[in-house]
Amino acid sequence: MKGTTLADGPTINTIAERAGVSIASVSRVLNGLPTRQETVRKVMAAADELGYVRNAVARSLKSRRTHQVAFAMADVGNPAYLAMLRQIQPVLKDAGYRLVLHSTDAVVADEIDVLHSLGERYVDGLIMVPLRVTEAHLEMLDAARAPVVIIGQVPEGTRVDNVRADSRTGVKLAIDHLHALGRRRIGMINGPLDTVPGAARGAAYREALGGVGLPYDEDLVQIGDFYRAEGGRAVAELLDRVPDVDALMCANDLIALGALDVLRAAGRRVPEDVAVVGMDDTDLAAASWPSLSSVSLGSAERGRAAAELMLERLQGGDGEPRLVTVAPRLVVRASTAGAPVADFPAESRTDRKESAE
Amino acid sequence: MKGTTLADGPTINTIAERAGVSIASVSRVLNGLPTRQETVRKVMAAADELGYVRNAVARSLKSRRTHQVAFAMADVGNPAYLAMLRQIQPVLKDAGYRLVLHSTDAVVADEIDVLHSLGERYVDGLIMVPLRVTEAHLEMLDAARAPVVIIGQVPEGTRVDNVRADSRTGVKLAIDHLHALGRRRIGMINGPLDTVPGAARGAAYREALGGVGLPYDEDLVQIGDFYRAEGGRAVAELLDRVPDVDALMCANDLIALGALDVLRAAGRRVPEDVAVVGMDDTDLAAASWPSLSSVSLGSAERGRAAAELMLERLQGGDGEPRLVTVAPRLVVRASTAGAPVADFPAESRTDRKESAE
DNA sequence: TTGTAAGCGTTATCAA
DNA sequence: TTGATAACGCTTACAA
């Protein structure tokens, strides 16, 4: 514990007085501009003694750069967004940017707010994952006075950098895998069709079936919601209606966990009787029993790509808007693999040392 | 798509010119200070037409408030920190504060950096979860020019607000529970003893055993690391050495998942043969099979408490440093409960709609 | 009710 | 090499 608690932080004026030089000289020294040795010494000494720290706000006002970037998404608790955040954070940090986090709680008005507040210039740029893209979004994007990177679909011609997943190919990977395992009665448990992911995944399922020459059978499709219990209920109904189903494509991992619950209760073995594939490849997939095969839509990669696009813009890049599409990946685990893996499963990507007291 | 893309954002000067009034009047109108109707109208009209948005940086410089609060912890991917973040975020947001996120990657120097940068005044306050508290921390805390709330242990007499968990009571809850279930050979799978949580939980285990009149038996303790595979290995060794163990207290949820893996492979039923308790009550606990009983150390509550303490400070509270201790809670699930729950498990607290495209 | 002007803490221009 | 001085965009006395 030193002692020097200062009533009100020192400024370059304080230093200038103390060192007996002008504030201009202080600024020069602090910024490493050519200055006489003697002056440098005096200024540094004064700054040290006073415990001077540069005021970031004043700097920003002058330089018109805040060295902050905002990341806005619906909910940090969602593993997909979290995976993005975990990639975005270090990329920005290494480039000297701070990360301002906005959780919009799936309220569209909040998203518009964030876009609007971009005008306040408290950040140099914004990375956003919109729930869906409304007219209001497009207007604000068009008028944005700072670079924006959108993770998700934007209409053709929107003048922003854009990073996309490819859920269509993702679903296809899963269906191809199941088909190769000999499954022919592949059900789909989806979330609401009026959501972006629900619609996309449903259509992709139908298309992928066609790709392997399987007929599309409405009876094999059950709509629920993107939650575990709801997913379980949907599976229960499907089992009732189509007892000979031998595989389930689930629209996300939570639904797939619900499927495991219900299959177990119904005495169906996974994967022997029914194979199960989830989507998003969250932490939960590796934690469940049997561990869950899951289609990764590359949240982490999308986050990284978005951060990198942003940095390029911030470093002066002002070319045409760019589009990056991230390839999906099927992670095969016990729920489709045949014999469940035992003993020592591989670390999940997010295994971390706990450090709560 | 409107059209008015402005070369360089409008300021109150632009508005003043356009409305034919002084910048002072513009400022007054914008801040809702008493002004003549006619002036209000002219200013508002001009502001609207120009698409004016207040510059947050300039405001901050003048008002000496940034309306930003920083949250610093080792790793956003860690569920315990994430749980805190999820509580902190809305509390700050509702009070009109933005959240600046710092992930220190468990590098102590980075923590010191964050503390140092507090002097730059880019935030009004800092909530921090230090890995451990060094002399350097204490010096910086002492000299901090903005309010700081520490989540974790700080030495007596440190002049900052402090929110703590109570892992000792937490472990006791688990041991009491296991004892009440008739278990008498209760093993402990811990992480390294030179970590804060490892040491605390190990000591708490020993003490809790005493509390129920069980002897402390070194053979029942196995040290590994806070990861799943390591935890599994530790359990395997313990089983080898002490085949009659009938319960396992695991120092975190990942270790407990490793325990489930190994017990299953060894043909031991959970909980009939061996009951298992994890710690931290992460999402994984509800996802595993059997679902995992776990001791919650109240990460969410600690986050909320910290955010609230911070807000009080920001709203002018300048009393003595306060200490909040959050009570732990035992969440009983299938791994200790007797018959594993089937069918429709309750939603976990973080079940959320997925919204990746 | 309004305008002038000072200042928040920097950076940067221009003479000296 | 250095010191006045003018911004940066805003709020706020103080005068008018």
Q: How many A×B Cβ pairs under 8 Å?
A: 277
Task: Give the β-pairing of A329-331 and A323-325.
Answer: unpaired
The predicted structure's pLDDT at residue A300: 96
Q: Is the pLDDT of residue B64 over 60?
A: yes
CA B262, B265, B270, B273 dihedral sign is negative
CA B95, B100, B104, B110 dihedral sign is negative
- Closest residue of B to A261, CA-based? B343
DSSP calls for A313-341: HHTT--SS--EEEPPPEEE--HHHHSSPP
Name the residue among A2, A265, A354 with its Cβ closest to that of B280.
A354
- Closest residue of B to A69, CA-based? B100
Contact assignment for B143 to A4 by CB distance below 8 Å: yes
Query: In this predicted model, what pLDDT tens digit does every residue of A168-225 receive, in sequence order?
Result: 999 999 999 999 999 999 999 999 998 888 999 999 999 999 999 999 999 999 999 9
CA distance A44 to chain B (A): 17
Do B127 and B157 touch, CB atoms closer than 8 A? no
Contact assignment for B228 to A152 by CB distance below 8 Å: no
Q: Compute CA distances B54 → A15, A134, B173, B203, whole Å.
A: 32, 25, 53, 55
Residue–nucleotide distance: B41 CA to C2 C1' (Å) = 15
CA distance A64 to chain B (A): 9
Name the residue among A54, A145, A280 with its Cβ closest to that of B120.
A54
- In 3D space, the residue among B173, B146, B190 whose CA is nearest the CA of residue B296 turns out to be B173
Query: In this predicted model, what pLDDT tens digit does every residue of A10-37 receive, in sequence order?
Result: 999 999 999 999 999 999 999 999 999 9
Residue A316's pLDDT band, with cuts at 50, 70 and 90, is confident
Q: How many CB atoms lie within 10 A of CB A13?
A: 11
Q: Which residues contact A25 (CB under 8 A, 6 or more apart)?
A: A16, A19, A35, A39, A43
Contact assignment for B343 to A262 by CB distance below 8 Å: yes
The predicted structure's pLDDT at residue A317: 78
Name the residue among A228, A265, A279 with its Cβ closest to that of B351.
A228
Q: Is the pLDDT of residue A346 over 50?
A: no
DSSP calls for A86-122: HHHHHHHHHTT-EEEEEE-TT-HHHHHHHHHHGGGTS
Average pLDDT over residues B47-52: 95
CB burial of residue B116 (10 Å; 0-12, 13-18, 19+): middle
The predicted structure's pLDDT at residue A355: 40
Q: Is the pLDDT of residue B90 over 90?
A: yes
The predicted structure's pLDDT at residue B337: 87
In this structure, which amino acid lies at residue B22?
A: S
CA A39 to CA B261: how far, in whole Å? Answer: 67
The predicted structure's pLDDT at residue B339: 45
CB < 8 Å to B93, chain A? 103
Do A89 and B76 touch, CB atoms closer than 8 A? yes
In this structure, which amino acid lies at residue B219?
A: D
Q: Is the pLDDT of residue B155 over 70?
A: yes
Contact assignment for B351 to A260 by CB distance below 8 Å: no
Within 7 Å: CB of B60 and strand D?
no
The predicted structure's pLDDT at residue A6: 37
- In 3D space, the residue among B339, B326, B234, B250 whose CA is nearest the CA of residue B294 turns out to be B250
Contact assignment for A61 to B56 by CB distance below 8 Å: no
Average pLDDT over residues B130-156: 92
Q: How many residues does chain B have?
A: 357
CA B206 to CA B190: how far, in whole Å? Answer: 12
- In 3D space, the residue among A238, A231, A286, A300 whose CA is nearest the CA of residue A260 turns out to be A231
Q: What percent of chain B has pLDDT over 70?
A: 92
CA distance A184 to chain B (A): 26
Average pLDDT over residues B271-287: 95
| pTM of the predicted model as reported, rounded to 2 decimal places | 0.90
Query: In this predicted model, what pLDDT tens digit does every residue of A62-113 receive, in sequence order?
Result: 999 999 999 999 999 889 999 999 999 999 999 999 999 999 988 989 999 9
The predicted structure's pLDDT at residue A182: 95
Q: Is the pLDDT of residue B325 over 60?
A: yes
Contact assignment for B353 to A227 by CB distance below 8 Å: yes
Residue–nucleotide distance: B250 CA to D1 C1' (Å) = 67
- In 3D space, the residue among A144, A166, A143 whose CA is nearest the CA of residue A153 turns out to be A166
Name the residue among A76, A287, A346 with its Cβ closest to that of B82.
A76
Residue–nucleotide distance: A55 CA to D1 C1' (Å) = 26
CA A303 to CA A297: how far, in whole Å? Answer: 11
Average pLDDT over residues A107-120: 94
CA distance B299 to chain A (A): 8
Domains of chain B in start order, with CATH, are: 12-63 (1.10.260.40), 68-164+300-318 (3.40.50.2300), 167-296+329-349 (3.40.50.2300)
The predicted structure's pLDDT at residue B194: 87
Q: Which residues contact B194 (CB under 8 A, 6 or more apart)?
A: none
| Residue in this structure with the two tokens 């992930």, named with its chain if needed | B103
Average pLDDT over residues B80-86: 95
- In 3D space, the residue among A272, A55, A182 whose CA is nearest the CA of residue B61 turns out to be A55
- In 3D space, the residue among A68, A293, A271, A283 whose CA is nearest the CA of residue A183 turns out to be A271
The predicted structure's pLDDT at residue A152: 93
Q: What is the mean pLDDT of chain A?
A: 91
Do A259 and B316 touch, CB atoms closer than 8 A? no
Residue A338's pLDDT band, with cuts at 50, 70 and 90, is low
Average pLDDT over residues B93-118: 94
CA distance B301 to chain A (A): 13
The nucleotide closest to A36 (CA, C1' atoms): D1
Name the residue among B68, B196, B227 with its Cβ closest to that of A351.
B227
The predicted structure's pLDDT at residue A351: 36
Q: Compute CA distances A10 → A18, A51, A288, A342, whole Å.
A: 11, 8, 56, 62
Contact assignment for A2 to B228 by CB distance below 8 Å: no
Contact assignment for B5 to A139 by CB distance below 8 Å: no
- In 3D space, the residue among B291, B255, B134, B112 whose CA is nearest the CA of residue A353 turns out to be B255
DSSP calls for B36-105: -HHHHHHHHHHHHHHT----HHHHHHHHS---EEEEEES-TTSHHHHHHHHHHHHHHHHTT-EEEEEE-T
The predicted structure's pLDDT at residue A63: 95
Q: Which strands sit side by side in the sheet containing B275-279, from one edge to the other?
A: B221-223, B186-190, B247-250, B275-279, B293-296, B329-331
Bridge partners, A249 (sequence order): A188, A277
- In 3D space, the residue among A286, A285, A260 whose CA is nearest the CA of residue A274 turns out to be A260
Name the residue among A75, A232, A346 with its Cβ closest to that of B352.
A75
Q: How many residues does chain A have?
A: 357
Q: Give phi and psi for A320, each to the nearest 5.
A: -65, 155
Contact assignment for A347 to B117 by CB distance below 8 Å: no
The nucleotide closest to B13 (CA, C1' atoms): D9
Burial A268-292, CB ≥16 within 10 A → b, else e: bebbeebbbbbbbbbbbbbbbbbbb
H helical segments located in chain A:
12-19, 23-30, 37-50, 56-63, 79-94, 108-117, 135-143, 167-180, 196-211, 228-241, 253-265, 283-287, 299-314, 334-337
Residue B338's pLDDT band, with cuts at 50, 70 and 90, is low
Q: Is the pLDDT of residue B351 over 80?
A: no
The predicted structure's pLDDT at residue B3: 28
In this structure, which amino acid lies at residue A229?
A: A
Within 7 Å: CB of B61 and strand D?
yes
- Closest residue of A to B55, CA-based? A120
Residue–nucleotide distance: B23 CA to D10 C1' (Å) = 9
Q: Who wins on pLDDT, B5 or A7?
A: A7
Residue B193's pLDDT band, with cuts at 50, 70 and 90, is very high
Strand C nucleotides with an atom less than 7 Å from a protein beta carbon: 1-5, 7-13
Residue–nucleotide distance: A61 CA to D6 C1' (Å) = 15
Query: In this predicted model, what pLDDT tens digit does every residue of A128-167 receive, in sequence order?
Result: 999 888 899 999 999 899 999 999 989 988 999 999 999 9
Query: In this predicted model, what pLDDT tens digit does every residue of B252-263 receive, in sequence order?
Result: 999 999 999 999
Q: Is the pLDDT of residue A3 over 60?
A: no
DSSP calls for B221-276: EEE--SSHHHHHHHHHHHHHH-TT--EEEESSHHHHHHHHHHHHHTT--TTTT-EE
Contact assignment for B344 to A233 by CB distance below 8 Å: yes
